[in-house]
Amino acid sequence: MALHMSSLFLRTLREDPADAEVPSHKLLVRAGYVRRVSPGIYAWLPLGLRVLRNVERIVRQEMDAIGAQELVFPALLPREPYEATNRWTDYGDNLFRLKDRKGGDYLLGPTHEELFTLTVKDLFSSYKDLPVSLYQIQTKYRDEARPRAGVLRGREFVMKDSYSFDIDAAGLEKSYQAHRDAYVRIFDRLGFDYVIVQAMSGAMGGSKSEEFLATAEVGEDTYVRCASCGYAANVEAVRVPAPDPVPFADAPAAHVEDTPDTPTIETLVDHLNERFPREDRAWTAADTLKNVVVMLVHPDGTREPLAIGVPGDREVDEKRLEAQVSPAEVEPFEATDFDANPALAKGYIGPGALGLDGTAHIRYLLDPRVAEGTRWVTGANQPGHHVIDLAAGRDFTADGTIEAAEVRAGDPCPACDSVLQSARGIEMGHVFQLGTKYAEALGLKVLDEKGKLVTVTMGSYGVGVSRAVAAVVEGNHDEAGICWPRELAPADVHIVAAGKDEQVLAAAEQVAVDLEDRGLSCIVDDRRGVSPGVKFKDSELIGVPTIVVVGKGLTRGVVEIKDRRSGLRREVPVGSAAAEVLAEVGRA
C-alpha cells in the first residue's frame, strides 16, 4: 500500500532547525525523518524508520552471506560480566548505569563482547564447534560527553556488532578477512565514499585493526592517505619511516655553547642564527631535538616519567602518544615532578640526562626521525646552555623509539616515495582482531583435537547503522534536499499529483497502484489544496530517487518522470508510466 502524503505522519519544515549544524542533521529533521527527544536521543518517524530498516537489511544480508548468525542480546545487562573484564570501571562515565529495586547494579550495553563470549562458553566446548561468527543489530547506549550532529553521534544508537570465535590465529585471520570483505560490500551498497584506514589496536590487546571511514568534512576522525599508493591510516596508526643511518666518521665533535634565555625552540633558533650561523643555510626548528617529559599513570596506579625526543618543529601528538603507551594514561609533568627530578633542567633538557642509564633515570624514547648519525642541537642539561652537533648513536642513545610526534600533510608516505594528505572522515565500521583478551578474562576455552584446553581467539566487528543514515545524507544531498541511493530510499517512487482536477488525483493514484502491483513502493502526494510548488519542494527535500509528476501533461496523455539526483526529466504516455518507471528503477 502506497504512503499517502494526505495522511502520512510527517511535517516538513521550511526552515533549518536552530540547533542543527551539519547538513545531514538539518535535512533529516527538515524532511521529517527524525525528531530529537533529548540530547543525543532521537525518535525515528515513519520515513526515517524505513531508511533505517533499509540499512539494517543490507547489513543483515551481507552478514548472513558470510555465514554469520544473527541473535539478539538484551540492552539491559547485569554488572557482573563487565566486572570480570574490568570494563565496569574502564568504561567510566560513558556507561549508562542503573539500579533495580533491590539495589543491584545494571547497565545499558555500550557493546557486547562479554555477553557473546559468555554465551559461546555456555554452549560450546569443542574445537569441532568452531569457527563461529555471531552478530546482532541492536540499540546501544553510551553516555557520550558530547553528543552532536543529530543521529551522527547519539547516546542511543543502532549498531551491528559481530564477533568471531576461532581456535587459532589462522582461523581468526580468515574470519577477519571475511568480515572485512562483507564490510566492503556493505559500504559499497550504502553509497557513500569511504576509505579503509589502518587503526590502532591499542588497549584492546589485539593485533590488527582497520576502520571504515566515510569521507566527510564534518567527520570527527582525522586520517592521512597517500594519493599515489593508496596507503591510508588513522593518525594514531601512522608509522614514520626511519631514515637510513648517516655515517658520522667525519662529523664535527659535539660542543656545548652558551645560549642564555632560550627556553623555547623559537628563541633557540633565533639565537643560533645570530650567534652560531651556519654556512650552508639558516638554522630551523627541525635542526633541534626537543625533549618532552610526561608522566605515565599505569592501570595499577603507579606513575612513571617518560621522556620523548622529537624534532623541534613538531609537537608531541597527545592522541598518538596515548595510543602508544596505552593502557597507561598520560599526564603533564608538573612543577613538583621537576622538583623531584633535579637532573632535569626545564627548557634545557638533553639526552645526556635521559634514558634509564642517564642521570635522571627516566626512560627515553626517540622519534624514528632521530636516526643514527643525524646531528642535533639540544639541551645541555644546564640552564642557558645547548649542545650543537650532537650525533645520535655516537653521542647519545635512547631506550627505544616511539611514534608520538604529530603527523602532518606533506609528510613522507610510509609505503612509497610520495607524500601524505590529511582528511576527515566519519567512522562507519571497525574490524578488529581481539585475540584472547576477552576469552581469557571470561574463561572461554575449548578442547582441541588432542584433548587439550585452548583459549579461543576472537574478533569483533562493528557497523554504525543509525549513523550510516546520517553519513549517507552527508554524501548524498544538494541545495534542495536529500538524494537517497535507491537501496536506502524510504520509497522507490514519489508521485506528485500537481493539479486540482479529480482526474489528476485519480491518475496519480492509478500510477501508484500499478507500481505497487509490480513490487515498487510509492509515496503519493495526494494533498488537496496544496499548490504544486509545495509538492515539488517537498519531493526534493524528501529525496526519493524517482519522482513522477502527474499534472498538466495529462490532457496530452503524458506524465513526467524525473530523476531526483540529476534533475533530468522526460515525458512518457500515462499508460506506459509504470513500465517506464520500472525500467528507470532498474527492475523491469
Nearer to RNA, 379 or 462 (CB): 462
Contact 557, 577 (CB under 8 A): no
Lookup result for grid cell 515539488: 536
Name the helix (H) or strand (E) containing 87: helix 87-90
- How would you list the strands of the sheet with 363-366, edge to edge? 329-332, 289-297, 303-311, 363-366, 400-401
Nearest to 145 by CA among 91, 202, 204, 107: 91
Nearer to RNA, 36 or 369 (CB): 36
Contact 362, 273 (CB under 8 A): no
Q: Tell me the number of residues near RNA by CB under 7 A.
A: 68
Residue 552 binding RNA, by CB under 7 A = yes
Nearer to RNA, 138 or 259 (CB): 138
Residue 403 binding RNA, by CB under 7 A = no
Burial of 353 (0-12, 13-18, 19+ CB in 10 A): buried
Nearer to RNA, 272 or 550 (CB): 550
Nearer to RNA, 28 or 272 (CB): 28
Residue 529 binding RNA, by CB under 7 A = yes
Residue 541 binding RNA, by CB under 7 A = yes
Q: Which stretch binds RNA (CB under 7 A): 101-109, 149-157, 443-451, 511-519?
A: 149-157
Residue 206 binding RNA, by CB under 7 A = no
Q: How far is the CB of 296 from RNA (least distance, A)?
A: 14
Q: What angle do CA 345, 347, 350 make, to 5 degrees?
A: 65
Q: How far apart are CA 368 and CA 106, in angstroms?
A: 46
Give the one residue of 210, 221, 395, 525 binding RNA; rule: CB under 7 A: 221
Give the one residue of 32, 109, 154, 352 binding RNA; rule: CB under 7 A: 154
Q: Which stretch binds RNA (CB under 7 A): 42-50, 178-186, 511-519, 536-544?
A: 536-544
Q: Which stretch binds RNA (CB under 7 A): 338-346, 355-363, 510-518, 552-560?
A: 552-560
Give the one residue of 352, 429, 490, 543 binding RNA; rule: CB under 7 A: 429
Which 31-70 residues touch RNA, going by CB under 7 A? 36, 38-40
Q: Which stretch binds RNA (CB under 7 A): 77-85, 292-300, 421-429, 577-585?
A: 421-429
Per the rule left: phi > 0, alpha: psi between -120 and 50, beta: everything else, 529 is left
Q: How far apart are CA 200 and CA 394, in angstroms?
A: 33
Please give the distance of CA 358 from its chain centroid, rounded to a whole number.
Answer: 41
Give the one residue of 220, 313, 372, 389 binding RNA; rule: CB under 7 A: 220
Residue 584 binding RNA, by CB under 7 A = no
Nearest to 370 by CA among 396, 343, 409: 396
Lookup result for grid cell 537489511: 57
Q: How far apart are CA 277 and CA 343, in angstroms?
A: 30
Residue 14 binding RNA, by CB under 7 A = yes
Q: How far is the CB of 494 from RNA (least distance, A)?
A: 12
Residue 556 binding RNA, by CB under 7 A = no
Nearer to RNA, 147 or 312 (CB): 147
* DSSP summary character for residue 482: B
Which 90-119 residues touch RNA, going by CB under 7 A? 94
Per-residue x/- track, 455-494, RNA (CB under 7 A) = -------xxx-xx------------x--------------
Q: How far apart are CA 78 and CA 47, in angstroms?
A: 35
Residue 509 binding RNA, by CB under 7 A = no
Amino acid at 148: R
Which 65-94 residues touch RNA, going by CB under 7 A? 94
Residue 585 binding RNA, by CB under 7 A = no
- Cα 33 to Cα 116, 255, 301, 557, distances in angstroms: 33, 69, 47, 35
Nearer to RNA, 224 or 289 (CB): 224
Strands 41-44, 558-563: pairing kind: unpaired
Give the one residue of 191, 311, 379, 499 binding RNA; rule: CB under 7 A: 499
Which 307-366 residues touch RNA, going by CB under 7 A? 318-319, 322
- Cα 72 to Cα 114, 119, 135, 138, 224, distances in angstroms: 13, 12, 8, 7, 36
Nearer to RNA, 226 or 498 (CB): 498
The full DSSP string for 18-32 is TT--SHHHHHHHHTT
Residue 145 binding RNA, by CB under 7 A = yes
What would the 3-class secondary structure string for 210-261 be?
A: EEEEEECCCCCEEEEEECCCCCEEEHHHCCCCCCCCCCCCCCCCCEEEECCC
Q: Which residues bind RNA (CB under 7 A)?
A: 11-21, 25, 36, 38-40, 94, 142, 144-149, 153-155, 157, 159, 211, 220-221, 318-319, 322, 427-430, 462-464, 466-467, 480, 498-500, 528-534, 536-538, 540-541, 549-553, 560, 562, 569
